[in-house]
Amino acid sequence: MTVKTMATYAAEDKKPEILFWVGCAGSFDDRAQKVTRAFAEILNKAGIEFAILGDEEACTGDPARRAGNEFLYQMVALQNIEVLNMYEVQKIVTACPHCFNTIKNEYPKLGGNYEVVHHTQLLQQLIDNGRIKLTDTDSFKGRRITYHDSCYLGRANGIYEAPRSVLESLDGQLVEMKRSKRNGLCCGAGGAQMWKEDEPGDKRINMERADEALATGASIVAVNCPFCLTMLTDGVTAREKQEDVMVLDLSELIIQQM
C-alpha cells in the first residue's frame, strides 16, 4: 500500500486534502492495524489525497488526561499541535473517537484549531457523494448487523446517525441493542480503563455489553472505535461466540463491498 507522510508531501511542496490521524491503537494494536489498513485503502480507492504523520504523530494525550495526568496530556498535546501547525494542517480524519474528541474539542484551547471528522462521518459523505461505490452489497443480505455507539463519538459528541447511515448503505438488517444512541452502554475501556484492571465488581463491563450485543442475534457487531473493538471482541470470545459473531469496524465492512 502506498501511504505518504506529511513530510513527503512537504518535500514535494504539496499539501494533501486531509490528514489521516492514525492514533496509537491504529498504529500498534494488531487488530486495530487492520482497521487502519482498511480505511487507508478506502481513501486510496476513493481517490482522496491523504497523508499520515507517521513517526511524527504522538499520542493525543486522551488516556493521560482522563486518568488525571494533565501534565502529560499537555506535553504530548502541545507537541502534536506544534507538528500539526508546522504542516499547516486544516482537515483531519481519524478512526479513533478518543483522538477525534481530543483534537476536535480540547486542542483548540491549546492553540490547535482544525476541522476534525471521524472516519464514519467521512465514510458517510463519500458514500453520499458517490466517491465510494458499493458494488457487492448482496453478501450482507439477510444478515443482522448491530451497531455499538462508542461513548466518545456518541454522547461526547452527539454523532449517532452518520455511522448508522453508513450501515444502512449495506444490504444487511440493522438491529438496535436495548441500550443505544444516547443511552448506549460503554464497552468499559474509556477513561483510561483500557490500561487497567476493572475495579472489583460482579461482571466486566465489556461482558455486559457483549451479552447485550449477542442478545440481538446479530452476526456482525459494528464498531467505530479501536478500544470498543478490543473490548467487544474479548467479550464475544469469552462467550465462545467468535465463530458466529464478528466484531468489525465500519471501514472493514465498507472495504469488503468496494
Partner 1 sequence: MLSTIIFIIIAGGALAYAGYQFNLVRQNILLASDEAIEGPSGERWKNMLLVAFGQKKMFKKIIPAVLHFILYAAFVITQIELIEIFIDGVLHKHRFFASSLGGFYTFMISFIEVLSLLAFVATVIFLVRRNALYIPRFSGPEMRGWPKLDANLILIFELILLVCIFTMNGTDIVLQNRGEAYYPATGSFAVSGWLGPLVFGNFSTATLVVLERIGWWGHLLMVLWFLNYLPSSKHLHILLAFPNTYFSRLEPKGEMDNMPAIMKEVKSMMDPDAPMDEADMSEELPEFGANDIFGLNWLDTLGAYSCTQCGRCTEQCPANITGKKLSPRKIVMDVRTRTEEVARNIRSGNEEFCKDPAQPLSKDNYDDGKTLWDYISKEEIHACTTCNACVEACPVLINPLRPILAMRRHEILTESAGPADWLPLFNSIENAQAAWSMGKSRKEWVDQ
Map the footprint of partner 1 across residues 35-64, applying CB under 8 A. Answer: 36-37, 40, 52-55, 57-59, 61, 63-64
Residue corresponding to grid cell 486518568: 67
If binding is defined by CB under 8 A, does position 199 make contact with partner 1? yes
Is residue 240 part of the contact set for partner 1 (CB under 8 A)?
no
Among 44, 74, 165, 173, binds partner 1 (CB under 8 A): 74
DSSP label at residue 139: G
165 binds partner 1 (CB under 8 A): no
By the rule CB under 8 A, 204 interacts with partner 1: yes
Please name which of 206, 104, 69 lies closest in space to residue 148, comparing C-alpha atoms: 206
Contact 1, 41 (CB under 8 A): yes
Based on CB atoms, which residue is closest to partner 1, 163 or 172?
A: 163
Beta carbon nearer to partner 1, 175 or 192:
192
Contact between residue 118 and residue 247 where contact means Cβ atoms under 8 Å apart: no
By the rule CB under 8 A, 106 interacts with partner 1: yes
**Member of 205, 225, 229, 232 binding partner 1 (CB under 8 A):** 205
Tell me if 208 contacts partner 1 by CB under 8 A. Answer: yes
* φ/ψ of residue 144, rounded to 5: -90, 130
When the beta carbons of 70 and 161 are compared against partner 1, the nearer one is: 70
Tell me 111's DSSP state. T
178 binds partner 1 (CB under 8 A): no
DSSP letter (8 states) at residue 150: P
The H or E element spanning position 124 is: helix 119-128
Do 103 and 152 contact (CB within 8 A), yes or no? no
* Choices 84-92, 119-127, 128-136, 203-211; region in contact with partner 1 by CB under 8 A: 203-211
